[in-house]
Amino acid sequence: MKSTVEQIRQRFDQDVERFSSLETGHTAFVDSLLMLDLITKAAAAVTPHARHLLDIGCGAGNYSLKMLQYLPDLDVTLVDLSQPMLTRAQQRVQAATAGKVAPVQADIRELQIDDNQVDIILAGAVFHHLRGELEWQSVFARCFQILRIGGSLWIADMVDHSPAVLQALMYQRYGDYLVQLRDEAYRDHVYTYIEQEDTPRSLLFQVDLLRQVGFGGVEILHKNACFAAFGAIKT
């Protein structure tokens, strides 16, 4: 059985310090800093007149902080399950923007934001917690509805592979990365919580789903082993 939403929330409540560094907060993801830079630069390039950023699964605010380096003084809505994460994110992000910062403790599957309100959505390391196909479709469709015309959604996340032999190959590459990053015990620790918590879908599944819910201009920015950065525009 996979972890419940409450169990995931409790784990992240205890992990605020690790995620409070722009440089090291996401190193368990392959090419995390590259993907962070790519999706924020892409968002700034395709939505240069953005006024409102929505950071889904914001953690301690790293993705918003990076976005503000390229588009200063945005209004920012921070969404996360964890209140301690939100508190830290609000402190850090408010210090970096003259815009309004609104923290919202919520499950992304139940997020209440009016349609056509947001220019950029960032979803960093969050959608892999979605479960069944209906959840994936509902969340992607809701992101489309929330965005203004010309707005964009950018995702950096773990992805799955098919057939199983390719998944095993990519997972082995990821394991080698974790061992090099720290050691075998760390690799096993990461593998354990992935098995408990995560249900990623393939990159092509997500690209197809973006198109199905209405997005145009779907682009893959980067992929390495089990991780990818990609996005789409509401045309």
pLDDT in tens, 87-137: 999 999 999 999 999 999 999 888 889 999 999 999 999 999 999 999 999
Look at residue 178 and tell me whether its pLDDT is greater than 90: yes
Backbone angle region of 214, left / alpha / beta, with phi > 0 → left and psi within -120 to 50 → alpha: left
ω into 163 cis (within 30 of 0): yes
Q: pTM value? A: 0.94
Pairwise CA distance, residues 26 & 169, whole Å: 22
Look at residue 65 and tell me whether its pLDDT is greater than 90: yes
Q: Report residue 231 as tokens.
A: 């996005």
What are the φ and ψ backbone dihedral angles of 125, each rounded to 5 degrees? 55, 50
- pLDDT at position 219 is 97
Tell me what the mean pLDDT of segment 187-204 comes to. Answer: 94
Residue 1, CA atoms < 13 Å, CB-side half-sphere: 4
Mean of pLDDT over the chain = 94
- Structural contact between residues 53 and 24, judged by C-beta atoms closer than 8 angstroms: no
Q: Report residue 127 as tokens.
A: 């959608």
Look at residue 20 and tell me whether its pLDDT is greater than 80: no
Task: Find the largest Cα–Cα distance for the chain.
Answer: 50
Q: Report residue 202 as tokens.
A: 């393939």
- pLDDT at position 17 is 75
Percent of the chain topping pLDDT 90? 84
Look at residue 43 and tell me whether its pLDDT is greater than 90: yes
- pLDDT at position 33 is 93
SS3 110: helix
Look at residue 19 and tell me whether its pLDDT is greater than 80: no
Residue ranges and CATH numbers for the domains of the chain are 5-159+199-233 (3.40.50.150)
Percent of the chain topping pLDDT 70? 100
- pLDDT at position 7 is 85
First to last CA, the chain: 39
Task: List, edge to edge, every strand of the sheet that includes 52-56.
Answer: 101-105, 75-80, 52-56, 118-124, 147-158, 227-233, 216-224
Tell me what the mean pLDDT of segment 29-40 comes to. Answer: 95
Tell me what the mean pLDDT of segment 61-71 comes to. Answer: 97
pLDDT interval class at 55 (50, 70, 90): very high
Q: What share of the chain is helix, strand, coil (3-state, %, to 5)?
A: 45, 25, 30
Pairwise CA distance, residues 130 & 210, whole Å: 15
